[in-house]
Structure 1
Amino acid sequence: MRRLAAPLALLLASTACTTMEGTAPVAAAPERMVSPILTTPDAVDSATYAQPQVARVTHVALDLDLDFDAKRVGGVAELDVLAAPGAEDIVLDTRCLEIASVTDGAGRELAYEIGKTVEEGGKGAPLTIALDGATKLRIAYRAPAGAEALQWLSPEQTKGGVHPFLFSQGQAILNRSWIPTQDSPGIRQTWEARITAPKPLDVVMSGVRQGEPEDLGNGRRAFRFVMDKPVPPYLIALAAGDIDFAELGPRTGVWAEPATLPRAAKEVGDTEQLVSAAEKLYGAYRWGRYDMIVLPPSFPYGGMENPVMTFLTPTFIAGDRSNNGLVAHELAHSWSGNLVTNAVWEDSWLNEGVTSYFENRIVEAVYGKKRAEQEAALAFAGIEETLAEVGDDAPGTALHHEPGANELGSAITYDKGHFFLRTVERLVGRERFDAWLRQWFDSHAFQPATSEMFYEDMLANLVRDEAEAKKLMLREWIFAPGLPANVAKPDPAAFAEVDGAVAAYADEGTIPPAYAGWTAAEQMRFLDSIPKERSAEQLAALDSALGLSETGNNEILFLWLELALANRYEPAVPQAKEFLAEVGRAKFVRPLFKVLWDQGDWGQAHAKRIYAKTRAGYHAVTRAGVDRIVN
């Protein structure tokens, strides 16, 4: 996923829990491959109720109906269970699911109990089921109308304005609000699904579609999907709406609303090239197809790396592919995150930091070294800004953090992780490092991993001797706060021209005439580096000379609005209001409300008025972050 800054505690909101009536069953599934369960203390997931050493889910088969009127999902989940000899119970994760019945594969009723709900961190409630020898469970249930993983959009919230839309967002522990399973990244599961939806909506999932949809003759169609590779449960995802498909290459394509599809297809037109570049770096793409869906703008993230169907925000579309590092990032997750997954969320840098490094290497291969160095320099500036704010010794600046520790967002999880691998690569040489990282992916494919495993693998398969180990400072990078002294900083020449223009503007107010010819990264560097206190006259001059309020690049527009609102620039308020009403991406929404709120009565009055109108259109993830600001 691209740029997740919120800790788990912010990702969920509470809802009331009730019961329901039963629904139809689903066909039995064949035997599935099983990935190992890690048993070391650092692999124990504090965010799950599951006891995988006793009994665990290996396969999930869903048979669900999408009810757009009630904004609910309901049906049956059939689970394959692998239990230790003598195991009496299995424990699943749920959050306000309405359980109608639990039976075994033969229809025999099984006793079950829903435990007390824990609101903190969105952990939900345990569902404990008496196995009584069962190896298959059939759970009839409905998800609540307020299921946090699901966002139901009215036609007015879509580009087409005619049909409703639904999408899910499972990371980190949101999928327990619509699927009863063991919702932990260390418990990998294969899955299949039959989903029914009203015509003419199409359904896509993070599994391979099986044939054409079946017309049920009642105004609905059924869609079938299979994921035959074991994945962490947060990667089960679906979307449904008025969407069309454009082929990009022999194994790549993009879905989007018809009004969005032409721009989306043009923007991601080099995806096949990105996949080939990734394969040359770290081995075969193992998931078959690589498709994407560009969702309505309320999607809370830049992207989500759901297997075979990356979910993307439309806010990355700039018309010049300048934000396609996002596509490279989500693609790289097909190796780091989806293929090898952090066993616990305290090691999320194993997903995001490794992916950020991989992303930069793909960008270098496809778009050139200059662009890669500039994007790395922007990331490094984020690390420095965070460390300057919280201190080099803040515990949250370690890559691995303890359960409940304060996370400091993307500058650490993504960017420090990126620069850790970048530093090791520079010190041991690219050829050796690439061979090691490919080995890491191959050796741990379709398995969970921990920071300690990553460290030990480096010692065993990369480091030559004690002297080199000392030079690399591996433990300091992973387990200590701050930046180690050996960090491989970006090339200072990457932004030499821009930094000179920043100095000239700061000293003399000179607005760079070359701005229009700069890359998007250069433009962002300039806007993010100029003095933050600006008068209304200075802001008006910047906007007039650089066309900031007219830009088609949302990353640049965000930086402009952030600067303008921080200086109480009234002419920017209508555009900020429009932007916040159209865009639900948390990376943009939370900081803009924060900067408004920090302006005292002036900004808080604007924030309250805007949020009163926009809150209902935001995903639960975005709402949770803004609620903390305005409340």
Structure 2
Amino acid sequence: MSSVRALLLATSIFAIAACSPKEEPSKIEEADVPLEEEEYVEQDEMEFMVPGEEREVIWDALTPEEARDKFTYSNYNDVRVTHLNLDLAVDFETKTLSGTAEINFRRRARGTSSLVLDANMLDVSKVEAFTEGRWVETNFTMGAHDPVMGSKFEIALPDRARKVRVTYSTSPEAGGIQWLSPEQTAGKEHPFLFTQFQPLNARTMVPVQDTPAVRITYDARIKTPTDLLAIMSARQDISGELDGDYSFKMTRPIPSYLIALAVGDIKFKKINNHIGVYAEDYILDASAAEFEDTPKMETAIAKFYGPYRWGRYDLIVLPPSFPFGGMENPRLSFMTPTLIAGDKSLTNVVAHELAHSWSGNLVTNATWRDAWLNEGFTSYVENRTMEALYGEDRAVMERLLDKQALMRDVEAAARPELTALKMPADLGHPDDAFSQVSYVGGMFFLKFLEERFGREGFDAFLRAYFDEFAFKSITTEDFLTYFEDSLWADQPDAVTESEINAWIYQPGFPDSIEKPRSGAFNKVDGQINAWMGGGEIDGLETSAWTTHEWLYFIAQLPEGITTDQMAALDERFSLSTSQNAEIANAWYMRAINVGYEPAFEPLDGFLMRVGRGKFIYRLYAALIENDRRDWAEAVYERARPGYHPIAQRRIDDIFAE
């Protein structure tokens, strides 16, 4: 037995217990997309053990049950969905999508008589199976509703059926779909909808095996009001006609959480021949300018880790209620407008979502316990991209700020098991896996391996890793087995088993974690010390500071800073009214802790117009912790209707604690 396999067996017990667009879509020409993309990629049959089959599996440290995603009802080891064909109509008046989902599947175990899917608040009126050359109605049952997992949707399968068709409609309260009234958009004339499915919300729009373990291709036809444009995480309708009838095709197998839809008064602007930006008109030009380095990012990542494999890469800047910085939907990353700072200082988020085209979309975590495989790898590639484009100093500053956020999350974790890279078997909700532990902790683990094995060799290993597991879903143990066989075996003394164990399975982070040092931040420290030691406010020289230096400056202000000193900073630098969302958020956090009253009126406005969870969750929590609950509740009552359902649930929980 190999050393890693022995280690994994020894540690697994602990791990378990413990439109009329400005540049019309018709300008996106056929030649911009590789011709071979018309062909569907065949899916791998070696991903999971099928009971009764004798086959070599990738891992041997986990049983099939241990490797199974616990957040799905689906019987994906017995029957595997392979393709989805959607035909849905968008109704803004009823806030529903209705139509059919045609589902192709492959039986993987003999005697399987039912297909089990995930559904959440779907109103199913009919289910048919295609057998003997025709569609026939078949029986189905919809289980009781669970607030986290929705319902078990079981369909009886005739013997020779290979696909089913579900006629249904979504609920107006679907957690993965946000419906915005015209008044909630910038243009104030047209409604808007967008989806957010990671981690468990695809089942609120589509009956599907809603697990990252299952990858599917899909086609879709979406019917909308004729004055609105629909776009999806797939090859777009290239007709260029704003006609309310749009068709899409995704030929690469993806997990269900990467299905995405947006409908609204959306315009398009080209960056190069296969990269562009969609947005409402008010922010389109600024977004295209902010993201103009995206082609350079793609070139840098491809040089390191192999070619981009998805055809086009576009971005859409969504309304401010979008609850994340970005979402890596293939071919169409969803982005928050809070990134539009005017100086490209926040475009590391673009690099992150683009990097997901390799780590996460191409190679996917098989369960949410393994979320670090998506986010840690992506954060590492993001940081390497920033270094390649903007230099080592910026990459180091970002790692140092990220490490501060990581240590904050480790300290605030509800329990120690949530500070290990491999999440515990009793993970209560996949959202708990999306802390800085998975993102930044995973990045620092890969940085540790890079330092031990050398950058050149580690880059070659990662490129081979992306090739080996392309369009597959894997576990942490799959990665470790491949790591041992492909890299560690050639340099057995580079790391020890106990070091790997400490990084992956033990709470907290070992002393071998990098300690980033930034010369630019050292200069900021010097200025803080001089000013707090009695120097004049005019002595602070900030004209050359980047966003990163401002964030470090605000974070390093001493706990004993007075409201008079806060006022002096605010008067000179207008921090309470900063148009940079990251700087404003950092300043508001400090203002809440200090009790600096002049910041509360602009904070009210910030909470009313910004729905990005990274900001608002911590701000509401800080208000409660600092005896501002009544004020926070009053703001939230007004702001809540404009927040995404995901954000509403999280903030409701914050107030309930």
Match of 1:98 in 2: 123
Residue 496 of structure 1, CA deviation: 1.4
SS in 1 for 2:324: coil
Is contact 1:337–1:351 with CA below 8 Å preserved after alignment? Answer: yes
Task: Specify whether residues 89 and 388 from structure 1 end up closer, same or farther in structure 2 by C-alpha distance, changes over 3 A only.
Answer: closer
Residue 501 of structure 1, CA deviation: 2.5
- Alpha-carbon displacement from aligned partner over 1:288-309 (angstroms, at most 9, x marks no partner): 1110000000000000000000
Residue 360 of structure 1, CA deviation: 0.2
Residue 327 of structure 1, CA deviation: 0.2
Match of 2:562 in 1: 535
Residue 389 of structure 1, CA deviation: 4.7
Matched, 1:418 2:443: yes
Match of 2:135 in 1: 107
Matched, 1:126 2:126: no
Match of 1:76 in 2: 100
Match of 1:275 in 2: 298
CA distance in 2, matches of 1:139, 1:196: 18
- Alpha-carbon displacement from aligned partner over 1:478-508 (angstroms, at most 9, x marks no partner): 1111212322221353521122233334444
SS in 2 for 1:60: strand
What is the correspondence of 1:311-390 to structure 2 with a 5 Å cutoff? 311-389=334-412
Q: For 1:401, give the aligned amino acid.
A: M
CA distance in 1, matches of 2:579, 2:191: 27
- Alpha-carbon displacement from aligned partner over 1:188-212 (angstroms, at most 9, x marks no partner): 0000100011021111100001332
CA distance in 2, matches of 1:571, 1:598: 19
Identify the match of residue 616 of structure 1 among 638, 641, 656: 641
CA distance in 1, matches of 2:498, 2:306: 25
CA distance in 2, matches of 1:43, 1:580: 40
CA distance in 2, matches of 1:446, 1:169: 21
| Alignment: residue pair count | 594
SS in 2 for 1:448: strand
Match of 1:488 in 2: 514
Identity percentage of aligned residues:
40
- Alpha-carbon displacement from aligned partner over 1:589-616 (angstroms, at most 9, x marks no partner): 111111111122xx11211111111101
Normalised to the residue count of structure 1, the TM-score between the two structures is 0.91
CA distance in 1, matches of 2:251, 2:399: 36
Is contact 2:371–2:434 with CA below 8 Å preserved after alignment? Answer: no
Matched, 1:470 2:470: no
CA distance in 2, matches of 1:173, 1:301: 15
Matched, 1:177 2:204: yes
Match of 1:513 in 2: 540
Match of 2:44 in 1: 35
SS in 1 for 2:316: strand
Q: For 2:77, give the aligned amino acid.
A: Q
Is contact 1:459–1:469 with CA below 8 Å preserved after alignment? Answer: no
Residue 404 of structure 1, CA deviation: 3.0
Match of 1:25 in 2: none
Identify the match of residue 396 of structure 1 among 415, 418, 423: 418
**Structure 2 gaps, min length 5:** 1-37, 50-63
Is contact 1:516–1:546 with CA below 8 Å preserved after alignment? Answer: no
Residue 31 of structure 1, CA deviation: 7.8
- Alpha-carbon displacement from aligned partner over 1:430-471 (angstroms, at most 9, x marks no partner): 000000000110000000011111111111111124422318
Matched, 1:405 2:427: yes
Normalised to the residue count of structure 2, the TM-score between the two structures is 0.87
Match of 1:455 in 2: 480
Is contact 2:39–2:251 with CA below 8 Å preserved after alignment? Answer: no
CA distance in 1, matches of 2:209, 2:544: 51
Is contact 1:377–1:494 with CA below 8 Å preserved after alignment? Answer: no
Match of 1:8 in 2: none
Q: What is the root-mean-square deviation in Å for CA atoms of aligned residues? A: 1.9
Identify which range, 606-615 or 323-332, moves more after superposition. 606-615
Q: For 1:102, give the aligned amino acid.
A: V
SS in 2 for 1:173: coil
Q: For 2:470, give the aligned amino acid.
A: A
Is contact 2:177–2:195 with CA below 8 Å preserved after alignment? Answer: yes
CA distance in 2, matches of 1:288, 1:346: 30
Match of 1:590 in 2: 617
Residue 48 of structure 1, CA deviation: 0.1
Task: Specify whether residues 52 and 389 from structure 1 end up closer, same or farther in structure 2 by C-alpha distance, changes over 3 A only.
Answer: closer
SS in 2 for 1:297: coil
SS in 2 for 1:182: coil
Match of 2:313 in 1: 290
CA distance in 2, matches of 1:409, 1:540: 36
- Alpha-carbon displacement from aligned partner over 1:358-387 (angstroms, at most 9, x marks no partner): 000000111111111100111112223334
Identify which range, 96-105 or 397-406, moves more after superposition. 397-406
CA distance in 1, matches of 2:540, 2:39: 65
Is contact 2:396–2:518 with CA below 8 Å preserved after alignment? Answer: no
Is contact 2:397–2:518 with CA below 8 Å preserved after alignment? Answer: no
Residue 527 of structure 1, CA deviation: 0.5
CA distance in 2, matches of 1:387, 1:397: 6
What is the correspondence of 1:190-229 to structure 2 with a 5 Å cutoff? 190-212=217-239, 221-229=244-252
Q: For 1:48, give the aligned amino acid.
A: T
SS in 1 for 2:137: coil
SS in 2 for 1:483: coil
Match of 2:524 in 1: 498
- Alpha-carbon displacement from aligned partner over 1:320-345 (angstroms, at most 9, x marks no partner): 00000000000000000000000000
Task: Specify whether residues 286 and 32 from structure 1 end up closer, same or farther in structure 2 by C-alpha distance, changes over 3 A only.
Answer: closer
CA distance in 2, matches of 1:472, 1:338: 31
Match of 1:13 in 2: none
Is contact 2:100–2:167 with CA below 8 Å preserved after alignment? Answer: yes
Matched, 1:555 2:565: no
Q: For 1:395, give the aligned amino acid.
A: E
Identify the match of residue 652 of structure 2 among 613, 627, 630: 627
Is contact 2:88–2:97 with CA below 8 Å preserved after alignment? Answer: yes
CA distance in 2, matches of 1:384, 1:124: 34
Match of 2:73 in 1: 49
SS in 2 for 1:255: strand
Task: Specify whether residues 479 and 345 from structure 1 end up closer, same or farther in structure 2 by C-alpha distance, changes over 3 A only.
Answer: same
Matched, 1:186 2:213: yes
Identify the match of residue 253 of structure 1 among 246, 251, 276: 276
Is contact 2:129–2:138 with CA below 8 Å preserved after alignment? Answer: yes
Is contact 2:409–2:435 with CA below 8 Å preserved after alignment? Answer: no
CA distance in 1, matches of 2:191, 2:169: 20
Match of 1:117 in 2: 145
Residue 516 of structure 1, CA deviation: 3.0
